[in-house]
């Protein structure tokens, strides 16, 4: 599995293993250490470094991190970095905030150590839980597609491996593993899914539920990639730029299928500095296209405003050096996206 992951990344000569001290990432570190001792993968030279990220969210986290560093050094990985991060509060929950802080630390370590890939220990069980959470939240194709085996420098070689198998690897290698208490904390939806929901599904529906969910993710990844490609092409052909935003022609946008139209709208929001809109916000923008209610604005996450104006209004606003004001009327034919920046910006 690791060989295939490195092959897909072009066989980087130096790789970085992210390790928490848990069985999944320790098993991955152990496998990577085997190839580090050999000095090559499929005849291609390779060396392996490691990084341990201390999120400082639990009592005793520093001790766990230090012990994990010692284990990784004992496996022969070099160098092994310990990075301590501050997890800032965000509007997306503690798990997302911790993930953002961790990924920033991993990227910084990879850059400093000149590593072409970062290995993460997510397993098939993690993938199944991700898909199930996406279903429960009513998410779209991209979310249900789960975690990618490769995204930029991030590689997940163990997505086809069960969690029980990583435990077996650690037992065979006699590695002392740490079990994160938050993984069993019912305060987190992911923990409840792992401890309560997945075992119930396996009991009531029979074995193989996790594999089926992971297979669903693999299928949907292909669908999501195809739709993303079509949406990128459509957006490139529709977008028009102004000094303070972008606009899309209403008639041509309306001609797109809903699956593409929603994605194109999301791309316009991202293009001016916004965040991924939820389904409800996308429907609100759809209402502008259907000319339901006012001409806007509709507020999207990340301080983005969307409204309809006519081409003549846009031209008058540009000629006057100002911003056109949306109004009702049959002449409205453009969907405008602007970022509402703070005064000091």
Q: Report whether pLDDT(330) > 80.
A: no
Which residues contribute to the annotated binding site? Answer: 20-25
For residues 324 and 192, membership in a common domain is answered with no
For residues 129 and 176, membership in a common domain is answered with yes
| pLDDT at residue number 291 | 74
For the stretch 188-228, pLDDT in tens is 888 999 999 999 999 999 999 999 999 999 999 999 999 99
For residues 249 and 179, membership in a common domain is answered with no
| pLDDT at residue number 95 | 78
Distance between CA 184 and CA 200 in Å, rounded? 15
How many structural domains comprise the chain?
A: 2
| pLDDT at residue number 292 | 61
Of 6-20, 56-70, 177-191, 327-341, which range is least confident?
Answer: 327-341
Which residues contribute to the annotated binding site for ATP? Answer: 20-25
Share of the chain above pLDDT 70, in %: 90
State the residue range of the domain holding 80. 2-218
CATH number assigned to the domain comprising residue 183: 3.40.50.620
Query: Which residue, among 91, 105, 96, 52, has the nearest Cα to 75 in the 3D structure?
Result: 52
For residues 176 and 75, membership in a common domain is answered with yes
For residues 198 and 282, membership in a common domain is answered with no
For the stretch 116-163, pLDDT in tens is 999 999 999 999 999 999 888 887 888 889 999 999 999 999 999 999
Cβ atoms within 10 Å, residue 162? 16
For residues 196 and 294, membership in a common domain is answered with no
Distance between CA 209 and CA 213 in Å, rounded? 6
Distance between CA 35 and CA 132 in Å, rounded? 34
Q: Report whether pLDDT(326) > 70.
A: no
For residues 52 and 172, membership in a common domain is answered with yes
Q: Is residue 13 part of a domain?
A: yes
């Amino acid at each position: 599995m690791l060989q295939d992951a490195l092959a897909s990344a072009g066989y980087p000569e130096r790789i970085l293993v992210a390790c928490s001290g848990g069985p999944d990432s320790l098993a991955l570190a152990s496998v990577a250490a085997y190839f580090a001792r050999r000095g090559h993968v499929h005849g291609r030279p390779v060396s392996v470094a490691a990084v341990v990220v201390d999120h400082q969210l639990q009592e005793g986290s520093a001790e766990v991190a230090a012990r994990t560093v010692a284990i990784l050094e004992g496996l022969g990985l070099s160098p092994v970095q310990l990075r301590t991060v501050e997890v800032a509060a965000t509007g997306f929950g503690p798990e997302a905030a911790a993930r953002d802080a961790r990924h920033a630390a991993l990227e910084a370590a990879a850059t400093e150590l000149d590593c072409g890939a970062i290995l993460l220990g997510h397993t098939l069980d993690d993938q199944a839980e991700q898909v199930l959470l996406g279903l429960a939240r009513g998410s779209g194709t991209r979310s249900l597609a789960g975690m990618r085996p490769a995204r930029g420098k991030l590689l997940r070689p163990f997505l086809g491996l069960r969690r029980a198998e990583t435990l077996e690897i650690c037992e065979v290698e006699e590695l002392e593993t740490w079990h994160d208490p938050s993984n069993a904390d019912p305060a987190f939806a992911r923990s409840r899914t792992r401890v309560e929901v997945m075992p119930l599904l396996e009991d009531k529906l029979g074995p193989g539920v996790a594999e089926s969910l992971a297979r669903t993710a693999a299928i949907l990844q292909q669908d999501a990639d195809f739709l993303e490609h079509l949406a990128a092409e459509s957006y490139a052909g529709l977008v028009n730029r102004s000094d303070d935003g972008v606009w899309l022609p209403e008639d041509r946008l309306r001609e797109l299928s809903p699956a593409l139209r929603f994605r194109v709208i999301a791309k316009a929001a991202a293009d001016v500095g916004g965040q991924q809109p939820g389904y409800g916000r996308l429907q609100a923008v759809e209402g502008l296209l259907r000319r339901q209610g006012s001409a806007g604005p509709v507020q999207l996450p990340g301080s983005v405003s969307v409204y309809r104006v006519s081409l003549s209004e846009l031209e008058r606003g540009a000629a006057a050096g100002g911003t056109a004001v949306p109004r009702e009327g049959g002449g409205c034919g453009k969907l405008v996206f602007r970022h509402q920046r703070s005064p000091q910006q």
